[in-house]
Structure 1
Amino acid sequence: MYHAVGHRPAKAAYGLSVSPDAFAEQMELLDELGFTPVTTAQLGAAWRSKGESLLPGRPVLITFDDGYEGVHRHALPVLAKHGFVSTLFVSTGWLRGAYEVGGALDTMLDWGQVRELAAAGTEIGGHTHTHPQLDQLNDEHLRYETVRCRDVIADELGARPLSFAYPYGYSSRRVRGAVRAAGFAQSLAVGNGLAVRRQGPYALERVTVRRTTGIGEFERLIVGRSVARIFARDRALTKAYAVVRRARRMRGLIQEARG
């Protein structure tokens, strides 16, 4: 899971960014080790049909969240060099253009660039319209965020998106149901673990690539070695924060009931 790719990303996006040189080195390693990237839609279709044989021997997902301009400027040429596909999950209200509502952390893609990425083999998936914490929204707002995102992408690209990623990785059974009801066939969380079938199509995990991820650590992540150790602190904090988030949501429901 990538976010921004750039030499000097904005401070707010820095920790979850990678430098163009680091990204190029990481893609070179994937190629050398014989990995074959697939899109999220390809993975979902293969697993739903129980057709692992439809996947290459060493499949990997390369995903980008939010829609930062550096994905087009820096990542696309590297992906093209290796013949790699990827999935870009866009927050449609953050992208530059007619639907923009603001709130983005750095320079974002415009829709012309998104179309160029799609033409180059990048799957374009949904990441809501305004990038909220979905599990804290009421049902009406939750539906708006998923459906609005879906419809904007369909209007711009001529086809409905098939895949979705939860902002911040936050979801719940209610959120996953809303994503499914909006017509998305699969969705990605974070989890900082490897994606396996038992997670189900709407809670597939990914590992985070950060500015501080060296090439040695990157190799350990992609071969599935030491993932639990590398992200032990993140996973512990995520579990603890989940309890806080459930309590916060319950308080919100009580306040709504009181009118």
Structure 2
Amino acid sequence: MKDANVFVPEAGRDQAWPERPRNRIDRERSRNRIDLARVVSRARGVDQRDWVYWVKKGVKALTYYAGLHPASLRLGEGEAAILFYHKVQRRPVGVWGEPVLDVHAFEQHVAFLARQYQPVLLSELVAGLEGRARLPRRAVALTFDDGYRNNLYLVAPILARHGVPATIFITTGLVGTDGWMWGYELEEIFSRSPPEQVCQASGDPAIIRLGSLGLGPRVLMSACVEYLKELPHESMLDIVERLRAKFPVPVNDENRFLSWEEVRELAHQGFELGAHTRSHPILTRLPLAEVERELRSCRDTLEEKLGVRPALFSYPNGATCPEVTALVGRYFQAAVTTRSGLCARTSELLELPRIGAPVPVSELAFDLVWKVSP
């Protein structure tokens, strides 16, 4: 008798979707389909802002700190918001000198949310959307992806001071390891080594081409990361492993993952724990059989280590498609994406939108007012 929780792909489905390069020629064809101009444009958007952006930013800050922020205009009856974070840092700037979410900025977030909204666990928000429980007016759920160690040592004390709950999505294969999330690892590599040399060492023609365009180091790094995210998972791993071997960087405290003892401590403190796959692949870049292995391994490991089967899931990089979503629904009750918007009772529980928390609290306040459900 088949386990009701096991997904059995239709005959031939695993071979037909998604396309997986079978040899060097197929991998080259896959890379050639990626629009490098679009990749560069997206990367530049992270680093270069026009005057309109700065005017809007200034208006948001002025109205927020002047007490004119119209927080009461949004999140009416039956609406809720899910925020997503990753890590909170001690320093207010990142490796490129860019502002990042540090403990001071995060405490401003939490104090604002505790004052203006009703923070709830994600499971409570989901129950409210389903109609199984009353959805508090102005409900907001805080979620953290990946499972960084600073979630325990920096995030938890701030949340406890304000009585705010949170849900953390754990990447089980990285717990207790010295591993990196590869995007942050490449950021460190590009910031420490001549970027053009890094591109050459990748051995990938498209990345080498990106390295010849005269882009600034941060834009070049972002373009390479965006390009790698579009490759089949196996091809991406080949390139990352090549760069990792050539430019080894020990994981730092900002990027270290929790141990299982620390995960259990978070559970003991009242954090809700959800699943975020075993190794954090972009699921739409994997064959369905491998997607299933990632989901089931993560779910079963969390149940073994914590004694509770997780009901909530977060898609790595926010990426899904109908086939992946259907498979996630066989293992989990609800799942969150990184698609921006508010939740309502009409929202699909397996593709819930979230709002990525910006650094300034004034930006967060306006996102919660003006983000609309798709």
Q: Structure 1, residues 148-203: CA drift from partner, whole Å, max 9, x if none? A: 00011101110100100000000011111111112x10000011211223231001
Identity of aligned pairs, percent? 32
Using the TM superposition, give the Cα deviation of residue 3 of structure 1 relative to its aligned residue in structure 2, in angstroms: 0.4
Answer whether contact 2:141 2:166 (CA < 8 A) is retained.
yes
Kept after mapping to 2: 8 A contact 1:4/1:13? no
Are 2:308 and 1:159 equivalent residues in the alignment?
yes
1:5 aligns to 2:153 (yes or no): no
For residue 57 of structure 1, report the CA deviation from its aligned partner: 2.0
Distance change in 2, residues 1:14/1:46 (3 Å)? farther
* Structure number, greater radius of gyration: 2
Counterpart amino acid of residue 109 in structure 1: L
Residue 5 of structure 1 contacts residue 18 of structure 1 at CA under 8 Å; is this kept in 2?
A: yes
1:19 alignment partner in structure 2: 102
Check if 1:75 corresponds to 2:155. Answer: yes
Aligned to 1:102, what secondary structure does the other structure show? coil
Match of 2:340 in 1: 192
- Unaligned runs of at least 5 residues, structure 2: 1-83, 185-254
1:37 equivalenced with 2:119 (yes/no): yes
Q: Give the gaps of 5 or more residues in structure 1.
A: 229-234, 236-259
Q: Of residues 87, 90, 102 in structure 1, which corresponds to 2:179?
A: 102
The structure-2 alpha-carbon separation of the partners of 1:66 and 1:46, relative to structure 1 and needing over 3 Å to count, comes to same
| 1:90 counterpart = 2:173 | no
Partner of 1:127: 276
Find the residue that maps to 2:172 and give its secondary structure. coil
Question: Structure 1 residue 142: deviation in Å?
Answer: 0.5
The CA deviation at 1:12 is 8.2
Note closer, same or farther for the CA distance 1:217–1:81 as it changes in structure 2 (3 Å cut). Answer: same
Name 1:201's counterpart in structure 2: 349
TM-score (norm 1): 0.77
Letter in 2 for 1:86: A
Q: What is the aligned length?
A: 218
Contact 1:163 1:186 in 2 (8 A): yes
Query: Is it true that 1:171 corresponds to 2:320 in the alignment?
Result: yes
Change (3 A) 1:10 1:22: closer
Residue 102 of structure 1 aligns to which amino acid in structure 2? Answer: G
Q: Specify which of 150, 170, 173 is matched with residue 299 of structure 2.
A: 150
Contact preservation (8 Å) 1:16, 1:209: no
Q: Pick closer, same or farther for the CA change 1:169–1:110 going to 2, 3 Å.
A: same
Correspondence for 1:136 among 267, 282, 285: 285
TM-score under structure 2 length normalisation: 0.54
Please state if 1:47 is matched with 2:124.
no
Say if 1:56 and 1:205 are closer, same or farther in 2 by CA, change over 3 A: same
- SS of the aligned residue for 1:203 comes to coil
For 2:157 and 2:174, locate their aligned partners in 1 and report how far apart those are by CA, in whole Å: 23
The match for 1:218 is 364
| SS of structure 2 residue aligned to 1:171 | coil
* Superimposed CA distance per residue, residues 202-246 of structure 1 (whole angstroms, 9 cap, x where no aligned partner): 010001114xx3121111122x22x36xxxxxx9xxxxxxxxxxx
Deviations 1:130-153 (A, max 9, x none): 000101211210000000000111
CA RMSD of aligned residues (A): 2.4
Please report how far the alpha carbon of residue 95 of structure 1 lies from its aligned counterpart in structure 2 after TM superposition.
1.5
Cα distance in 2 for partners of 1:163, 1:220 equals 27
Equivalent residue, structure 1, for 2:42: none
- Give the structure 2 partner of residue 232 of structure 1: none
Task: Decide whether the 8 Å contact of 2:313 with 2:335 is kept in 1.
Answer: yes
* 2-structure distance, mates of 1:164, 1:38: 17
TM-superposed deviation, 1:14:
9.4
